């Protein structure tokens, strides 16, 4: 099997009395798309936030290519090669589309600046399917295009690991097919991706492996087919549905 890029070991996050993530353990291998799934509030975003350095874990270790990153500040972790998108899209409203992507290229893992950064940004925008609108203000973009720009920004630093927190959420059925195809093409390029997702079709067709979280803890791990048949996983999802 390919080398391990990211190791998560016994990671726990407490918010006051609430344990949002409990003793999480998993590995992400090079060129792998790894899914994190689970009902609402099960701790998926919190896990992403700890890997990217938005929060420091309460306990445990996270290693990127063997180096400890748990608890480091977000900008250090970004420079070491972790890039992310956000569950609620975050673009830079006063910057043009292409500047939004240059923002991802200028300070991160592989730094580019000036004409080179701009060329790189345009290539990426082309890559995610919006080569036409690079000089538009971001306020004029459709929802799926804001997601594309955010993805291009995350790709711009050539990350070691790309974290996508529900990147496909909120797309209509046609857009969803486009979105899935786009992420699949990233996978085919050999990128290492952690995908937090609720859309089952996407999980089945995109993930090499998944971990399933429920109430902050890992309840299953394996291929999408394996985990989606696991009785405990089914119970967790059905239970969540009954609560809702």
Partner 1 sequence: MSMRDLRNLALSALAFGVLALLPLYVSGYILSIATTMAMFTVLATSWALFSGPTHYISLATAAFFGLGTFVTGLGFQTLPMWLLPIIAAGLGAVLAALVGLVTLRLSGVYFVIFTLGLAELVRQVVTWVQNRTGQRGMYVLTSITERDIYWQLLGMAALVFLVGWLIARSRLGFALRIIGNDETVAKHSGIDTAAAKILLFMVSGAAAAVVGAMMAPRYIYIEPSTAFASILSFQVVIMALLGGTGRLWGPLAGVVPFTLLWEFISRNAPNQTLLLLGIAFLLIVYVLPGGFVGLYDRLRHRYGQGGQ
Ligand X SMILES: Nc1ncnc2c1ncn2[C@@H]1O[C@H](COP(=O)(O)OP(=O)(O)OP(=O)(O)O)[C@@H](O)[C@H]1O
Which parts of 43-72 interact with partner 1 (CB under 8 A)?
52-54
Please tell me whether residue 141 binds partner 1 under the rule CB under 8 A. no
Q: How far apart are CA 157 and CA 85, in angstroms?
A: 13
Angstrom distances, CA of residue 59 to CA of 14, 19, 26, 36, 99: 9, 11, 15, 20, 37
Site string for ligand X, 80-119 (x = CB under 6 A): -------x--------------------------------
Nearest-CA neighbor of 41 among 154, 174, 228, 198? 198
User: What backbone torsions phi and psi does residue 55 show, to the nearest 5 degrees?
Assistant: -120, 150
Q: Would you say 157 and 110 are in contact if contact means Cβ atoms under 8 Å apart?
A: yes
- The two tokens of residue 141 are 């973009």
Q: How far apart are CA 144 and CA 172, in angstroms?
A: 9
What are the beta bridge partners of residue 209? 34
Please tell me whether residue 219 binds partner 1 under the rule CB under 8 A. no
Please tell me whether residue 104 binds partner 1 under the rule CB under 8 A. yes
Q: Write out the DSSP string of 13-41.
A: EEETTEEEEEEEEEEEETT-EEEEE-STT
Residues 6+ apart with CB under 8 A from 150: 85, 86, 89, 90, 91, 100, 167
Residue with Cβ nearer partner 1 (108 or 216): 108
- The entry of partner 1, Mg ion, ligand X, none near residue 15 (CB within 5 to 8 angstroms by kind) is ligand X
What's the min distance (Å) between Cβ of 116 and Mg ion? Answer: 35
Pick the binder of partner 1 from 13, 44, 109, 191 (CB under 8 A): 109
Stretch that binds Mg ion, among 16-24, 43-51, 56-64, 140-148 (CB under 5 A): 43-51
Please tell me whether residue 46 binds Mg ion under the rule CB under 5 A. no
Residue with Cβ nearer partner 1 (44 or 209): 44
Which parts of 79-98 interact with Mg ion (CB under 5 A)?
87
Residue with Cβ nearer Mg ion (20 or 125): 20
Which chain residues interact with partner 1 by CB under 8 A? 52-54, 73-75, 78-79, 83-84, 86, 90-95, 102-104, 106-109, 111, 113, 153, 157
Query: Which residues of the chain form contacts with ligand X (CB under 6 A)?
Result: 15, 18, 20, 38, 40-46, 87
């Amino acid at each position: 099997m390919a080398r391990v890029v990211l190791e998560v070991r016994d990671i726990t996050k407490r918010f006051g009395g609430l344990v949002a993530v409990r003793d999480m353990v998993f590995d992400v291998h090079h060129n792998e798309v790894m899914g994190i799934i689970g009902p609402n509030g099960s701790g998926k975003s919190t896990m992403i936030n700890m890997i990217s350095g938005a929060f420091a874990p309460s306990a445990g270790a996270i290693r990127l290519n063997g180096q400890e990153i748990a608890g480091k500040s977000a900008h250090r972790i970004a420079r070491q090669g972790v890039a992310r998108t956000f569950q609620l899209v975050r673009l830079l409203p006063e910057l043009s589309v292409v500047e939004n992507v240059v923002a991802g290229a200028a300070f991160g893992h592989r730094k580019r600046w000036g004409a080179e950064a701009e060329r790189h940004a345009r290539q990426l925008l082309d890559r995610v399917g919006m080569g036409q609108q690079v000089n538009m203000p971001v306020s004029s973009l459709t929802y799926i295009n804001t997601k594309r720009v955010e993805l291009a920004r995350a790709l711009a630093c050539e990350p070691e690991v790309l974290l996508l927190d529900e990147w496909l959420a909120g797309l209509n059925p046609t857009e969803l097919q486009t979105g899935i195809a786009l992420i699949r093409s990233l996978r085919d390029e050999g990128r290492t991706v952690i995908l937090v997702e609720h859309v089952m079709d996407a999980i089945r067709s995109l993930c090499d492996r998944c971990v399933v979280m429920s109430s902050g803890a890992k309840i299953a791990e394996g291929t999408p087919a394996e985990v989606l048949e696991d009785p405990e996983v089914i119970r967790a999802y059905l239970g969540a549905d009954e609560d809702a």
